[in-house]
Amino acid sequence: MRWTLLPKPEKEKVAHISKQLGVSETIGMLLVQRGIETFEEAKKFFRPSLEELHDPFLMKDMDIAVSRIEKAIENQENILVFGDYDVDGTTAVALVSSYLLSYYPNVVTYIPDRYEEGYGVSYQGIDFAEDNGFHLIIALDCGIKALDKVTYASKKGIDFIICDHHRPGNEIPKAVAVLDPKREDCSYPYKELCGCGVGFKLLQALAKNRGQDMSDLVLYLDLVATAIGADIVPITGENRILAYHGLKVINSHPRTGFQAILKQVKKEKLTITDVVFIIAPRINAAGRMKHGNHAVALLTETDMQKALLFASEIELYNTERKEADQSITEEALQQIIEKGEEDRSTTVVYKDSWHKGVIGIVASRLTETYYRPTLVFTKNGEKLAASARSVSGFDVYNALEGCSEYIEQFGGHKYAAGLTLLEKDFENFKNAFEKVVSETIDPKLLTPELKIDAEIDFKDITPKFYRILKQFAPFGPGNMTPVFMTQNIKDVGFGKSVGADKTHLRLVVKQGNSPQFTGIGFGMAEKESIACNGSPFKMAYVIDENEWQGNVSLQLRIKDLKA
C-alpha cells in the first residue's frame, strides 16, 4: 500500500473551529478536512436535520411527475412500480409502492428477472403492463437509457415516469417525466442521490402536494439508508441526512422484514457498515440467486411469521450466493495465472457457466487481489454479460465508452458498471479495454492507496476523543472513518498470529510511556515479522471499541504497518 498523509489544513481555520467547539486540534483538523469551518456547519454535520433537505420540486420534471400520478389516482388507473433487482432498486420499489398503497389500492410492483429480462426496463415488463391494464409505469433506479422501451410503451398507451440516478446518454427518453439529478438540464442542488433517494424525493413531493410533512415519511427512511449504504454513494449532503435518520429508524423502529433478517444474524444496534455487510447482501441475494420479488415481499411484509419465513428463504439464497462467489473467484484467479495475465493493467475473465448473479461480487474480489480495473463475463442467452469494477481514482465508465464499438449495451457509474456484448467481439473488446486503460490510467492508481487523515500520538487517544469521533458517523464515501498514523511504536511482547487459520495479527502496542493498546489486523499475519522483532515501527489504524465479557475498551483496527 502507498500511504498518503492528507495535507494539513490552514492552522487558523483549525484553531478557530477547535476553539468554537471546545475540541482538540486533531478533531478541528478532521472537521476542516471535511469542509466544516464554522459552528453552524459543524452543527449541521453533527446533528443532521431533515429540515435541511432540499425542496423536491427543484428537481426537473418533479411537478409533471406529481401531477401525472395524481391524475392516475383521480382516474382510478392501475400504477405499476418497476425497479431494478439489486438493493437500490428493490428498496426503491418497496418504498414507493408501500407509500402509494397507504392511500391508493391500484398499485402493483414489478422486478425484472435478472436472467430472462436483464438489467433495467424490459419489453416483457411493458407487455405485462399492457396485458394487465396498466397505463402508468414508475421506473426506479433504471430507465435513463431506455429510449426504445419508453417509445415502445408509449405506442401501447403506457406512460413512464423515470426515477434514476445513473448518467444519462446523449438523449433523454421521451417519458412523461424523467427525474435524474445527473441530467445536464437539471439544477437540483445535490447530484449524488441513489435510485431509492430519487424515489424518496418523489414521495416528498407527493406528500407536500397532499398536505403531509416529513413526520409522515420518516419511517420510510430505513429503506433509503439501506440503499445509500449498499450503492456506495457519497455520504455527504442530503445522503448524510437521509442515512443518519434512516439508521435511527432501523435501530428504533425497524420494519418487520428487517427485524426478521436481524433475528437470523442475532445483531442489535446497527451502523451503516452493518447495513452494508448484513442487510444489503441478504436483500441482494434474492435477486442474484432467485428473484428480486422475494426481496420486495420481505421489505413490505407486516406479518412477522410470514417475514420470518421469507427471511429464512433469503438466508438460504445468501448461503448459495457465498458458495458460488467463492468457487467462481477461485476459478477466475486460476484463469488469470494460467493465461499469464498477472502483469496487465486490467483483469478480464470469462466462463460461460459462471452464475450471472455473483459476477459483480467476483469482480470486486478480483479487484482486491490484483487492484486494477476488472471485468467478469458470463454467458447470458445469446450474448455475454459482464460486471465491471474499478480502482479508486479511475473512471471505468469512461474506459468502457472508449471501447463502445465492441459493446452492445452498457451503463453504470465511475466505479461500477454492467455491459453486454456479442461473443465474437469478446477478444477484440478485451484487447481494446486493456489498451484504453493502460494508456489512460496513472500507474500509481494500480497500487492501493491508504489515505491517512492525521498523525497522532497514543496519548491523544482518550475516551472523550473517541466519543466525539463516533459522532462523525455515518461513515462512507466522502466521509470515511478517520485513519490515523502513529510512529515509533513497539509491541510489548504479546504480538502473535491468531484465528483458526492463523491469518490475523494481534498486537499489544505502546509508544514511549503512553498507555498500551491492543491492535488487531485482519488478514495481516504476514506482517508479524515487522511488528514482533523488537524494533520500532509505524502503524496506520482506525480506532474502535472492543466488547469482551461486558467490558468495553478502545482498540486499534490495523490498516497497515511498516518498519
At 52, which helix (H) or strand (E)? none
C-alpha cell at 40: 453552524
Burial class of residue 188 in the structure, from the number of CB atoms within 10 Å of its CB (0-12 exposed, 13-18 middle, 19+ buried): buried
- Where in the chain are the domains? 2-47+450-562, 56-220, 339-446
Chain Cα centroid distance, residue 402: 25
Interacting residues of 375 by C-beta distance below 8 A, sequence separation 6+: 346, 347, 348, 349, 363, 386, 387, 388, 419, 433
DSSP string of 72-113, one letter each residue: HHHTT-EEEEEE-SSHHHHHHHHHHHHHHHTT-S-EEEE---
Topology of the domain comprising 339-446 = Diaminopimelate Epimerase; Chain A, domain 1 (3.10.310)
CA distance 414 to 389: 9
Please give the pLDDT value at position 178: 98
Rounded to 5 degrees, φ, ψ at 412 are 145, -145
Local structure of 389: helix, strand or coil: strand
Only one residue has cell 474480489, namely 365
Model pTM above 0.95 = no
pLDDT along the chain (563 residues), means of 10: 94 96 95 95 95 98 98 97 93 97 96 84 96 97 95 97 93 97 96 97 97 96 95 92 96 93 81 90 84 90 94 90 93 96 95 92 94 95 93 93 92 86 96 96 94 95 94 92 96 89 94 92 93 93 87 93 94
Candidate CATH numbers 1.10.3720.10, 3.60.20.30, 2.40.50.460, 1.10.3660.10; the one for domain 2-47+450-562? 2.40.50.460
CA distance 490 to 510: 6
Interacting residues of 269 by C-beta distance below 8 A, sequence separation 6+: 251
Exposed e or buried b for every residue in 413-431, given b needs 16+ CB within 10 A? Answer: bebbbbbbbeeebbeebbe
- The DSSP code for 30 is H
CA distance 31 to 46: 10
- With both helix axes pointing from N to C terminus, report the angle between 195-209 and 62-74 in degrees, rounded to the nearest 10: 60
Please give the pLDDT value at position 377: 97
User: Residue 154: what residue type?
Assistant: S
Please give the pLDDT value at position 292: 82
CA distance 301 to 313: 14
Please give the pLDDT value at position 284: 87
Only one residue has cell 498523525, namely 455
Please give the pLDDT value at position 380: 87
What CATH architecture applies to the domain 56-220? Alpha-Beta Complex (3.90)
